[in-house]
Amino acid sequence: MATVDLKDVKKVYPSGVEAVKGVSIAIPDKELCVLVGPSGCGKSTLLRMIAGLETISAGTIAIDGKVVNAIGPTERDIAMVFQNYALYPHMKVYDNMAYGLRNRGTPKDEIDSRVRSTAKVLELSALLDRRPRELSGGQRQRVAMGRAIVRNPKVFLFDEPLSNLDAKLRGQMRIEIKNLQRSLGVTSVYVTHDQLEAMTLADILVVMNAGLVEQTGAPLDVYEKPASTFVASFIGAPPMNLLALTGASPSSVLADGTVIGLVPRQGKAVTLGFRPEDADITFAAEAPAGALALPATVEAVEPVGAESFIHCVAAGSRIVVRVSGRASAKPGDRLRVVARSEKLHWFDQTGKRVD
Amino acid sequence: MGDAWIAREISLSPRVVFPNKILPYLLVAPQLAITLVFFYWPAGQALYQSMLRQDPFGLKSRFVWFANFRKVLADPAYLNSIKVTVMFSLATAIVAMVVALLLAVMAEKAVRGKGLYRTLLIWPYAVAPAIAGMLWLFLFNPSIGSLAYLLRSLGIAWDPLLNGTHAMILLVSAAAWKQISYNFLFFVAGLQAVPKTLIEAAAMDGAGETKRFWTIIFPLLAPTTFFLLVVNTVYALFDTFGIVHAVTGGGPGKTTETLVYKVYNDGFVNLILGDSAAQSVILMAIVIALTAIQFRYVERKVHYG
């Protein structure tokens, strides 16, 4: 179908605000790229530029190898699912889905067969004669999807399509979107601020912050090797524990003066991080060799059934440890938080990862 | 549980309960008095008068039941007036709405000076009907009007004083011109209420600008359009006396004599009070019907959501 290539794309608004500050992403054919980041990071602006709804201030966007900077949204052959669905309220579900095909002059019987087969896939067949206001949120979402799918476009764009649904439906639709995208094999760009959605949907995960790409990669690679403290704290729930370092090599010193006998293999780090699930607690007085062992005080324990989150204070910072099943600690306990050295992440003063 | 529910029901209901039995009636009394004195009493008088017939000198009158209505409805001049009114109202409403919609769409598109355009386009609404009429009368006066001069130099034998069609065109122009601002205001508000994402979605669905207007924006403006159609018709029917009086006085002949103008002519000029009253009662029935339509279809309206 199509590849999407962004080269040094910038967006500067007339007011002088720079929303996107030079982003390059290459999305291979049939892959789903998720843009994730906090609100205001420029991800939606970027999506709207791919759609043609915003002009491109600098750089190029190419679809299927063809630069589309000067082509309007009408001619780009892209379909978009909007956050509020943007269904045409005065049209029945059938006409909502047929609208794009009619505009492109598709023969009537072909429109009919395509709308009906798409409706069947999305389980909308019984709703074709209803108007959008007579549908539930989940059904509207399906119609919005159907309107995009029926046109068989080169690229799908999703602008936070699940954020108006309740948690249960969101989980269900997430799986459905992934399956649909895979079976249709349409190159897609998906914008979300939900890191769980981002992790589960993406073939390529792009983490954005303040108009720039922080990291691009496969979701698990990004999770396991976050390129910066921003990515480390944004991807993962609860986020990675980050501790500030004051001392230099050969030993690292934490903010409260605790000396730990570990350093990064190269470079100089000012921040040390480890994921909650990579740590454990121990009441033993002896620190195990070759591992981080932080003296900590338990503040709270959150049992959620299959696992428990132990919130502690160590070296003046709050950290979270995730243990499976019930926790043996209780608030007020003094213990050690242990993490194996290969599970530690080090970051320099610009926030970049050092190994 | 039951009590809590009732308590919530009371706190949610907008109804205010007065402890005093008389106070509420005292509070609505002024409004009732005004309605009684300025509406029900004259309306009753008109109804009564419409069944009276006076002698030419106004010395005595006779109760004739519905004879005046039969006479009026059989009168070719009255039937002509109905035709004129329908023509005039429809033409005025359509011209006023089409031009206003065009201007609203254009003003919405403007990137700079949107506010200035809007202000300038709303101004004509502040002009009194009779003055608006005079303005157009002077502009198109066959002997001194500058625009009449222009028309003649273009080879059009412009003469609203003798040509009924010309007089009607002049009248419709003046009446519509006055209403365009009002319609403009509503259309601008209506256009702003159309969600931007719908237009973006339509653009991505391959609809060009013209197609987007006719398939998305115009249908979504339907509630506004319908409301304006009723308001404009009512305006053209009943609020244009000043313009008719100033521009044509119903002439030439009776080619621009609308129903309201004929009530005035028959009652105050020709002093046929019974006929005039019967005509007012017919007009009143029309107003009631139009109001009912407005309440039925506009208030609980053609609404999407």
Mapped onto helix, strand or coil, the DSSP state of residue A353 is strand
Tell whether B78 and B166 lie within a shared domain: yes
Query: Quick check: B14 pLDDT over 70?
Result: no
Instruction: Enter the ipTM.
Output: 0.83
Q: What strands, in cross-sheet order, belong to the sheet with A353-354?
A: A241-244, A271-274, A345-347, A353-354
Q: Are residues B38 and B81 in the same domain?
A: no
The answer to the question of residue B279 being in a domain is yes
For residue B2, name the pLDDT band (cuts at 50, 70, 90). Answer: very low
φ, ψ of residue B74 to 5 degrees: the values are -95, -5
The pLDDT, as a whole number, for residue B12 is: 53
Does residue B287 share a domain with residue B148?
Answer: yes
Residues (pLDDT < 70) of chain A are: 1, 247-251, 287
Could you tell me which chain A residue has the CA closest to the CA of B219? A90
Same domain, B43 and B129: no
Residue labelled with tokens 């005292």: B26
> Under an 8 A CB cutoff, do A79 and B204 touch?
yes
pLDDT at B242: 83
Do residues B45 and B72 share a domain? no
Containing structural domain, residue B14: 1-49
Q: Is B35 in the same domain as B125? A: no
Asked whether residue B81 is domain-assigned, the answer is yes
Which pLDDT score is estimated for B305? Answer: 43
Does residue B62 sit within a domain? no
- Do B204 and B93 reside in the same domain of the chain? yes
- A84 — contact with chain B (CB < 8 Å)? yes
Predicted local confidence at residue A96, as pLDDT: 93
pLDDT at B300: 55
Is B19 inside a domain boundary?
Answer: yes
Say what percent of chain B tops pLDDT 70: 92
Strand order across the beta sheet in which A334-340 lies: A279-282, A334-340, A291-303, A307-314, A317-324
B77 & B126 share domain: yes
In a domain, B208, yes or no: yes
> Is B162 within a domain?
yes
Q: Does B231 reside within a domain?
A: yes
- Chain A nearest C-alpha distance from B202 (Å): 8
- Give yes or no: residues B135 and B172 share one domain: yes
Same domain, B19 and B112: no
B192-220 average pLDDT score: 91
Residue B136: φ, ψ to 5°: -70, -35
Q: Which of A80, A81, A88 to mutate to test the interface with B (most CBs of B within 10 A)?
A: A88
A151, B205: Cβ pair inside 8 Å?
A: yes
pTM higher than 0.90: no
Domain count, chain B: 2
Pairwise CA distance, residues A100 & A93, whole Å: 13
Residues 6+ apart with CB under 8 A from A250: A263
| B216-237 average pLDDT score | 89
Whether B42 and B110 share a structural domain: no
Report yes or no on B138 lying in a domain: yes
Judged by CB atoms closer than 8 Å, whether chains meet at B202 and A79 is answered as: no
What's B97's domain CATH number?
Answer: 1.10.3720.10
Instruction: Convert the pLDDT of each residue in B268-296 to its tens digit.
Output: 888 788 888 888 888 888 888 888 887 77
B3 and B124 fall within a common domain: no
On whether any CB of chain B is under 8 Å from the CB of A119, the answer is no
Name the band, by pLDDT with cuts 50, 70 and 90, for residue B207.
Answer: confident
pLDDT top residue among B72 and B195 = B195
- The answer to whether residue B49 scores a pLDDT higher than 90 is no
Spatial distance between the Cα atoms of B242 and B130, rounded to a whole number of angstroms = 5
Contacts of A80 in chain B (CB under 8 A): 200-201, 204
Which residue is closest to A88 within chain B, CA to CA? B198
- Residue B11: the pLDDT is 52
